[in-house]
């Protein structure tokens, strides 16, 4: 009987062929690079600050979790468009909503002062708001999902927590994928870790691409592409950092 017959309906743990050998579920690409610049780290911290379990979100119960951010950075100036929803049941009036947005903006500028010292920074919060017409980013749950705006996983954050269209990246989204054999998840994680190792070893920019072949061993990518900015690199040492990848 073919191994795949019971793949999604195993009779016992013995029907799980991934316990015997890890095989790639798809022909796909994983991409990673390092290091992050200071603005990329700031962007992720800012979103987590309002959407995660930070002191700010815990002390401001009206703060919703569906936080979105687009940022521009040229090394001296930062321009950020930020959406932070408020939970309607916890906001009593238009004036209260406006006060809450002022709190969010004040927190943005405080964090920018700590993480981007000396930079000229501009924030635009909930850019579609028209308070005098009561057009506000108010939702019951703190998320736009209640209006059917659920998006798709392929557009979502990569394994580093960012969407970086001007960096090397691919169309794979890691969320919701099986962590045992889905290369769209695993190769992105592995590529990022390898890039971080190479950056630490060479003190330069590192970029890693891992390409799988469906049905072939997961620990033996079809192609491995490494790009390094450091001019003095010893190939055998780079290969040794690859660990299990041959």
Please tell me whether residues 46 and 94 are part of one structural domain: yes
Please tell me whether residues 14 and 82 are part of one structural domain: no
- Please provide the distance, in angstroms rounded to a whole number, between the alpha carbons at the two ends of the chain: 31
Structural domain count of the chain: 2
* pLDDT class of 246 with cuts at 50, 70, 90: very low
∠ at Cα 58 (95, 36), nearest 5°?
A: 105
- How far is the CA of 53 from the CAs of 47, 57, 78, 101, in angstroms? 11, 6, 25, 19
**Token pair 């870790």 is at which residue?**
193
Q: Report the CATH number that the domain containing residue 233 is assigned in CATH.
A: 3.30.300.280
Q: Report the CATH number that the domain containing residue 136 is assigned in CATH.
A: 3.30.300.340
**136 is a domain residue:** yes
Quick one: pLDDT at residue 152? 61
SS3 at position 44 = helix
Of the candidates 91, 121, 152, which is a domain's last residue?
Answer: 152
Contact partners, residue 22, CB within 8 Å, separation at least 6: 180, 181, 217, 218, 219
Please tell me whether residues 31 and 43 are part of one structural domain: no
Q: Tens of pLDDT along 164-216?
A: 989 998 888 888 788 888 998 999 999 999 999 999 989 999 999 999 999 89
Please state the pTM of the whole predicted model. Answer: 0.85
SS3 at position 95 = helix
Quick one: pLDDT at residue 183? 92
Give start and end residues of each alpha helix (H) in 116-215. Answer: 183-202
Indicate whether 5 pLDDT > 90: no
**Higher-pLDDT residue of 31, 179:** 31
Please tell me whether residues 119 and 51 are part of one structural domain: yes
- Expressed as residue numbers, the domain containing 205 is 3-35+160-241
Q: Taking a C-beta distance cutoff of 8 angstroms, is the pair 55, 230 a contact? A: no
Mean pLDDT, residues 120-126: 97
- How far is the CA of 193 from the CAs of 34, 89, 108, 211, 212, in angstroms? 9, 42, 30, 15, 17
Mean pLDDT, residues 49-53: 88
Residues in the chain: 246
Q: Taking a C-beta distance cutoff of 8 angstroms, is the pair 84, 50 a contact? A: yes
Please tell me whether residues 63 and 128 are part of one structural domain: yes
Mean residue pLDDT of the chain comes to: 88
Please tell me whether residues 78 and 134 are part of one structural domain: yes
Quick one: pLDDT at residue 53? 82
Please tell me whether residues 139 and 198 are part of one structural domain: no
**246 is a domain residue:** no
Of the candidates 98, 128, 152, which is a domain's last residue?
Answer: 152
Please tell me whether residues 47 and 127 are part of one structural domain: yes
Here the tokens at position 45 are 């911290």
Quick one: pLDDT at residue 54? 84
Quick one: pLDDT at residue 84? 96
Please tell me whether residues 23 and 113 are part of one structural domain: no
Of the candidates 91, 118, 152, which is a domain's last residue?
Answer: 152
């Amino acid at each position: 009987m073919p191994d795949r017959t019971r793949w999604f309906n195993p009779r016992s743990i013995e029907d799980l062929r991934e316990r015997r050998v890890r095989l790639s579920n798809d022909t796909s690409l994983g991409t990673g690079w390092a290091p992050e610049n200071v603005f990329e780290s700031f962007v992720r911290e800012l979103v987590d600050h309002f959407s995660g379990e930070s002191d700010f979100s815990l002390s401001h119960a009206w703060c919703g979790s569906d936080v979105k951010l687009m940022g521009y950075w040229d090394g001296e100036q930062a321009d950020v468009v930020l959406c932070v929803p408020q939970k309607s049941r916890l906001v009593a009036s238009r004036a209260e909503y406006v006060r809450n947005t002022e709190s969010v903006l004040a927190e943005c500028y405080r964090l920018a002062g700590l993480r981007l010292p000396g930079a000229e920074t501009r924030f635009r919060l909930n850019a579609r708001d028209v308070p005098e017409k009561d057009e506000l980013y108010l939702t019951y749950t703190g998320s736009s999902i209640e209006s059917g705006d659920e998006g798709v996983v392929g557009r979502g954050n990569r394994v580093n927590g960012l969407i970086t269209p001007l960096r090397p990246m691919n169309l794979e989204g890691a969320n919701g994928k099986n962590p045992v054999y889905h290369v769209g998840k695993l190769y992105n994680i592995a590529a990022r870790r390898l890039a971080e190792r190479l950056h630490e070893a060479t003190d330069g920019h590192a970029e890693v691409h891992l390409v799988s072949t469906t049905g072939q061993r997961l620990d033996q990518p079809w192609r491995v592409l490494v790009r390094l900015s450091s001019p003095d690199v010893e190939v055998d040492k780079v290969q040794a950092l690859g660990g299990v990848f041959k």
